[in-house]
Amino acid sequence: MTKLVRDLMHRGLLTCRPNATLGQVAVLLNQNHVHALIVTDRGGRALGVISDYDLLAGEWLSSDPESMTVMRKLTAADLMSQPVDSVESDMPLCDAVNILIDKEISRLLVTEKGKPVGVISLSDFVASIASKEEPKREIVGDVMSDAILVCRGKTPIVSAARTMTQAGWRSVLVVDAKGKVLGVVSGRSLLPFVKDGVDEKLTVRDVMHAPLTIDIHASLREAADKMIQNHHHRLVVVDDSDPEAFPLGIISSFDIVAAMAHPDSIWQK
């Protein structure tokens, strides 16, 4: 059966008014974890789109106090892209993909009988690809996170904390110039500095702890047992047959819980 835009779109619109300042737009993007807002008039008519890239342009242009004063007076209407590219919700997904590719854009306003009802973006298409993966839960490699947040040993702990917050991660791997893991910094590693204050000269090397690793082919039971026995929430995934290789990923207690929560998991049947 042919999939339609309505099958993948996000219903509802995150909007701002044309007179919203760039600072206000930044707050809305950050609070809602989105890359763009639809700029609408009082009647709800879509006038344009303002994205995080538009704000980057504003930040880049405000290179001195005088320019900053000018940029702070700009509004969403000044930087938004227009017109807004739109598609009807009953358009086949393949046609919507072609529009994104041909026009080199990242999102489309979705309408029903001409009335704006939602948005479909690159992120929605990426998520649809990920959803096609067959759920498996036998070994560590089935549920681990392939992405890894890393930093060098000389990174200030303030910078590490900021990056962890921005990325939504609870830990960061500390590596040397060749990618060898030196240690791990977790939220718990940073807790004492909430109480005692932060010395800006301290680096992650000063607070990191030794990494706890597990082989990618180990069972989930082994991973869970190792976490419980060592009071750790996450393990660095490695290939024991190639100990010098860069880590393959991270497996956390959350990854295991997420696998349990999956609709096709044996825990849900």
Mean of pLDDT values over 11-15: 91
What CA–CA distance (Å, rounded) separates 31 from 33? 6
Mean of pLDDT values over 207-233: 84
pLDDT > 70: what percent of the chain?
88
Residue 267 predicted with pLDDT over 50: no
What's the mean per-residue pLDDT of the chain? 82
What CA–CA distance (Å, rounded) separates 32 from 21? 17
DSSP single-letter state for residue 7: G
DSSP single-letter state for residue 6: G
Q: What pLDDT band is residue 260 in, cutting at 50, 70 and 90?
A: low
Q: pLDDT tens across 133-158, in order?
A: 555 667 888 888 877 888 898 988 88
Q: What are the tokens at 189?
A: 């590693």
Q: What is the pTM of this model?
A: 0.54
Mean of pLDDT values over 60-80: 79
CA distances from 248 to 4, 99, 140, 199, 213 (A): 36, 36, 11, 33, 11
The reply to whether omega before 192 is within 30° of 0 (cis) is no
**In DSSP terms, which residues pair with 110 in a beta bridge?**
87, 118
- Domain architecture of the chain: domains with CATH: 5-130 (3.10.580.10), 140-261 (3.10.580.10)
Give the end-to-end CA distance of the chain in Å, rounded to a whole number. Answer: 27
Q: pLDDT tens across 166-211, in order?
A: 887 878 889 888 888 888 888 777 777 765 667 778 888 988 888 8
What CA–CA distance (Å, rounded) separates 103 from 92? 17
Q: Which of 130, 225, 214, 207 is nearest to 171 (CA)?
A: 207
